[in-house]
């Protein structure tokens, strides 16, 4: 009996093996067949509406963007004299049309432009013909980009590893100590230990520090950490999602003082202005550390354009707009700071989706701007100020941006703006000069900006667009070592405006 059952078993095993072998062979064939139909990675299949705001979805093939490099590209500053004003503005128009340059920033008498390496001779001839002077500000843009955000050294990494234990200890204490005694610590994490795996640290700590520029995940992780660790002072809310579905996280900092004025602060609405989210998160750190003495409530959106921001890390360092696909155009992106619903589509905007200043298909057509509008419509906070941080140029700008006009109370805006400039200059001994003035006059006309909307529609008293460092040496590609010096200036601005709000 025993013997026969064993041979029965052997036969069964043999059969099972054969069966499995056939199964595997089949599976690998299917796998091979499937592999033959794999979509090449330079193509992507997307579902998109057949027309703007249409509910009918169609499947479309898109060529995926490749990483943009700026090898040999240069930044030129084109300078015109007073009587060459028209010439300079013509040049900025030509930039877009001839494809010779792309515009970084500019006003009536000066523009900074990117010139691709292969266009350098042609661009130079063009400017000579127009009798315009220029100088090379950045010799090799790609090199500047590569040097802007250095990875931490081996030694720094080790040093940071040591902090983990200290932090774990601190976190244990912080959880038990009443909030008014506890302080968040700026904890620096080794890049290697936090990229990828994560581990328990991912949930308990945060990866934010201010010697380098951080990805969106780190910034959002920091906000969540603050809300979890200091629930009596901080709370975080997502006010909506971006085009690609990323959260728009707002941190509220309040010590609960009654009748405190509220200030709105945002950053990163233009993706490539990296210093803005970096400075705004540093401001957050300072406000939370000093939360007992705060005399206002702060609502802070550090990254108002999360898709664009991520895109500047993964594809194109100099991307400005959001990542909306335009129907009927191969170009992507809306300039969110032209998409707000006051005097939408006026001066300094474009209807062409390929332009950097494309205003979108209508006011608040974009989920990012819509989320901000909805937030204010629903909020009961006592808002008195709206501060939006940009770069670069070192300007403190007040409305209006749509035209060279000023609001009725512009004298107040100008006075506080000058106090802001003084405080920023004194902030850290760098003696940084910030120019104060009306947006359209000081810089250029730009309709549909958040500042005009905040002033006109939300009726915010103190509304400023602050262009942080620098004045052009590095432009958007400001090396990470300037984060803290610049952030100190930005914080000084916030404190002066807070003071002004208190006396309202």
Residues tagged active-site: 467
Q: Which residues of 341-375 are buried (b: 16+ CB within 10 A; e: fewer)?
A: bbbbbbebbeeebebbbbbbbebbbbbbbbbbbeb
Tell how far CA 199 is from the center of its chain. Answer: 27
Q: Restricting to residues 254-293, name those near Zn ion by CB under 5 A.
A: 270
* DSSP code for 149: S
| Residue among 227 and 490 whose Cβ is closer to Zn ion | 490
89/96 Cα distance (integer angstroms): 12
**Residue 324 interacts with Zn ion (CB under 5 A): yes or no:** no
Angle formed at CA 311 by CA 466 and CA 66, multiple of 5 degrees = 140
* DSSP code for 471: S
Q: Minimum distance from CB of 390 to Zn ion (Å)?
A: 3
Site string for Zn ion, 383-402 (x = CB under 5 A): -------x------------
368/305 Cα distance (integer angstroms): 7
| Residue among 190 and 475 whose Cβ is closer to Zn ion | 475
Q: Minimum distance from CB of 487 to Zn ion (Å)?
A: 17
**The CA-based dihedral angle spanning residues 498, 500, 501, 504, taken in that order and rounded to the nearest 10 degrees:** 160
13/46 Cα distance (integer angstroms): 48
Q: Restricting to residues 31-50, name those near Zn ion by CB under 5 A.
A: none
Q: Minimum distance from CB of 207 to Zn ion (Å)?
A: 26
| Residue among 270 and 324 whose Cβ is closer to Zn ion | 270
| Residue among 266 and 310 whose Cβ is closer to Zn ion | 266
Stretch of residues binding Zn ion (CB under 5 A), selected from 142-150, 233-241, 382-390, 471-479: 382-390
Q: Minimum distance from CB of 392 to Zn ion (Å)?
A: 9
Q: Minimum distance from CB of 311 to Zn ion (Å)?
A: 15
Tokens of 326: 């335009």
Q: Minimum distance from CB of 276 to Zn ion (Å)?
A: 7
State which H helix or E strand residue 4 sits in. Answer: helix 2-36
| Residue among 116 and 390 whose Cβ is closer to Zn ion | 390
How many residues make contact with Zn ion (CB under 5 A)?
2
| Residue among 270 and 469 whose Cβ is closer to Zn ion | 270
> How does DSSP assign 271-310, residue by residue?
TT-THHHHHHHHHHHHHHHTGGG--SEEEEES-S-HHHHH
| Residue among 75 and 132 whose Cβ is closer to Zn ion | 75
Q: Are 330 and 353 in contact (CB under 8 A)?
A: no
* DSSP code for 332: B
Q: Are 468 and 462 in contact (CB under 8 A)?
A: no
Tokens of 374: 């909805």
β pairing state of 110-115 and 57-63: unpaired
| Residue among 205 and 308 whose Cβ is closer to Zn ion | 308
Q: Work out the widest C-alpha separation in the chain, in whole angstroms.
A: 112
Q: Minimum distance from CB of 270 to Zn ion (Å)?
A: 3
CA distances to 2, 11, 21, 24 from 14, rounded to whole Å, are 19, 5, 11, 15
Tokens of 183: 């302080």
Q: Minimum distance from CB of 337 to Zn ion (Å)?
A: 6
359/337 Cα distance (integer angstroms): 8
β pairing state of 297-301 and 395-398: unpaired
Q: Are 436 and 418 in contact (CB under 8 A)?
A: yes
Q: Restricting to residues 398-437, name those near Zn ion by CB under 5 A.
A: none
Chain residues in the site for Zn ion (CB under 5 A): 270, 390
């Amino acid at each position: 009996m025993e013997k026969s059952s064993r041979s029965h078993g052997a036969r069964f095993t043999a059969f099972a093996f054969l069966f499995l072998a056939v199964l595997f062979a089949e599976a690998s064939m299917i796998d091979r067949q499937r592999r033959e139909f794999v979509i090449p990675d330079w193509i992507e299949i997307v579902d998109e509406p057949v027309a703007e705001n249409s509910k009918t979805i169609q499947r479309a093939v898109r060529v995926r963007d490749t990483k943009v490099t700026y090898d040999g590209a240069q930044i030129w500053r084109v300078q015109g004299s007073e009587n060459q004003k028209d010439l300079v503005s013509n040049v900025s128009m030509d930039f877009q049309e001839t494809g010779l340059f792309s515009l970084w920033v500019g006003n009536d008498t000066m523009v900074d432009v990117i010139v691709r390496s292969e266009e350098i001779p042609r661009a130079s001839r063009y400017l000579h013909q127009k009798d315009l002077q220029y100088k090379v500000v950045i010799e090799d843009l790609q090199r500047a980009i590569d040097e802007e955000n250095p990875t931490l050294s081996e030694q720094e990494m080790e040093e940071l590893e040591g902090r983990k234990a200290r932090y774990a200890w601190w976190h244990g204490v912080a959880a038990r100590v009443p909030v008014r005694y506890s302080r968040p610590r700026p904890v620096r994490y080794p890049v290697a230990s936090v990229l990828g795996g994560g581990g328990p640290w991912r949930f308990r700590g945060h990866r934010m520090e201010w010697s380098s520029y951080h990805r969106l995940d780190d910034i959002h992780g920091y906000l969540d950490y603050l809300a979890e660790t200091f629930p009596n002072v901080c709370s975080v809310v997502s006010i909506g999602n971006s085009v690609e579905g990323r959260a728009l996280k707002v941190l509220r900092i309040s010590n609960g003082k009654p009748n405190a004025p509220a200030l709105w602060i945002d950053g990163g609405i233009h993706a490539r202005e990296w210093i803005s989210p970096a400075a705004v998160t540093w401001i957050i750190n300072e406000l939370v550390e000093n939360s007992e003495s705060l005399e206002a409530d702060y609502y802070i959106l550090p990254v108002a354009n999360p898709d664009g921001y991520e895109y500047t890390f993964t594809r194109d360092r100099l991307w400005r707009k959001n990542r909306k696909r335009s129907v009927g155009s191969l170009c992507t992106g809306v300039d969110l700071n032209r998409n707000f619903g006051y005097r939408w589509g006026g001066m300094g905007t474009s209807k062409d989706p390929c332009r950097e200043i494309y205003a979108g298909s209508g006011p608040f057509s974009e989920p990012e701007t819509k989320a901000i509008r909805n937030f204010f419509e629903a909020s009961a906070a006592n808002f008195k100020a709206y501060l939006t941080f940009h770069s670069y140029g070192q300007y403190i700008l007040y409305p209006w941006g749509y035209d060279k006009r000023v609001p009725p109370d512009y004298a107040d805006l100008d006075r506080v703006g000058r106090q802001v400039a003084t405080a920023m200059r004194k902030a850290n001994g760098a003696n940084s000069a910030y120019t104060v003035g009306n947006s359209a006059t000081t810089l250029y006309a730009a309709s549909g900006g958040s500042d005009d909307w905040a002033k006109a529609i939300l009726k915010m008293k103190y509304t400023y667009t602050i262009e942080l460092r620098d004045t052009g040496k590095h432009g958007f590609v400001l090396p990470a070592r300037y984060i803290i010096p610049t952030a100190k200036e930005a914080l000084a601005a916030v404190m002066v405006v807070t003071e002004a709000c208190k006396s309202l």
